[in-house]
Structure formats: structure tokens, C-alpha cells
Chain A
Amino acid sequence: DTAVSQTPKYLVTQMGNDKSIKCEQNLGHDTMYWYKQDSKKFLKIMFSYNNKELIINETVPNRFSPKSPDKAHLNLHINSLELGDSAVYFCASSQDRFYEQYFGPGTRLTVT
């Protein structure tokens, strides 16, 4: 009965590769988000989607492309991975923009 799930939990890949992280929520929430947590534990929002519509794009490189096929899913595709992309990526969802956000377990991406 996981509320917000992400796959994979760990992702190790080489520079230049393309990879995707999937996120699904079964809470019936309208809004979903992607956050990046760096090695110093700093969390920063990357994207926000409301009812499959992009609301926030926080100066993220074009190599990152979110895709929301439906309200319950928000996937993150990353092209041409760089060393600096190594981080933990969290997906989150909220009932709408005004409520607390519930986070997935995170995906630890390591680029070598």
C-alpha cells in the first residue's frame, strides 16, 4: 500500500548515458513534483505538475525532461548524464498545490 513509489531505488550509470526514473502515487493527488537532494543534503525543487500540466520548471538543464502520462505518474528522463547529476532524486505528490507533500523513497543516482 505504498503511497508514492519510485523505481529504481539505485541507479549507477556512466557519463553520457540516458536514463529514466519512474514515479507513481496511489493517493489520488493532483500535483506531483521532482526534487534533487545533493551530497550536502540540500533539497531543491526541479519540476511541479498539476493535473499533467507543467507548473514549475526551476532552471533545470534541458537534459532533464519530466513526463506525466496521467495524474498518478510523473517520470523523469535525463539525457547525456554528467557527473554533477549524481544525487538523490525524490518524487513527491500533494492533494493540490496547497497541501503537504508526500515524498517517495528517493532514487540514488550515481554517474561515473
Chain B
Amino acid sequence: AQKITQTQPGMFVQEKEAVTLDCTYDTSDPSYGLFWYKQPSSGEMIFLIYQGSYDQQNATEGRYSLNFQKARKSANLVISASQLGDSAMYFCAMREGVNTGFQKLVFGTGTRLLVSP
């Protein structure tokens, strides 16, 4: 079974609008972390935001916020006021395995975001 599901292969948004990128996850581990990474066309992976499973509040980093709904097992990324430079692939990832003593990131298949002027 897929641990991380990103159902939107591609998304379009106009500059200055907000966009939500969906991510659902599957784990039985009580302690886990959720991450979003951005991969522009240049290829590097850029860490954007982190949400811990025990965090009471949704994480925010500048224009990025994570809409964490634990009961629904979703961790959607919201980008406010989109900019042309936001055009990239976005990956949701989960870190689990705290109780088993190891840590690894499991990635979703990504969503390609295109911001138009």
C-alpha cells in the first residue's frame, strides 16, 4: 500500500493566488513527521516545511502552511500569494519508524505546479 499519496499529478495557478497541494498518508506508527520538499527544474531538493504528529498547531513557514488533519491522515501544503518562482515539483514525505529505532523518509509521487502570470 502507498504510504504517501499525492493525487494531483499537475496543478495550475495564477500568480498571486493561493494553491493547495494534496497529500494523504498511511501509517500505524503513533509518532511520525510529515515534510514537504520543492524540486525546481534545476533539480535540487529544497526543504519547505515540517509537521510532527504531536504538534497541536499547523506548521507555517512564510508563504507556506501545512493543513494537518490527523483524523483524515492528510497534510496538504498551502502556498499563499503564488509567485512565478513557485513553479516546480512538490513532494510530500513521511518519516516513520520512531518506535523501531530507525528513520527514513518515504516520498509521494509529486505534484507539478505551474504558476502563470
Residues of A with Cβ closer than 8 Å to B?
31, 33, 40-45, 48, 55-56, 58, 88, 90, 92, 97-98, 100-106, 108
Contacts and interface: CB of A to CB of B under 8 A. Distances in A.
B43 A101 contact: no
Determine chain B's interface SS by DSSP, over half rule. strand
Given A41-B109, A90-B45, A105-B44, A100 B35 contact: yes
B107 A103 contact: no
Given A42-B109, A43-B91, A100-B50, A56 B43 contact: no
B54 interface: no
Determine chain A's interface SS by DSSP, over half rule. strand
A97 B109 contact: no
A88 B43 CA distance: 9
Interface in B33-79: 33, 35, 37, 39, 43-47, 50
A103 B44 contact: yes
Contact of A45 (B33, B43, B105, B110): B105
Contact of B107 (A33, A44, A58, A104): A44
Contact of B104 (A56, A98, A104): A56
Given A100-B47, A103-B44, A42 B104 contact: no
Contacts of A45: 104-106
B103 A97 contact: yes
Given A90-B45, A103-B45, A48 B104 contact: yes
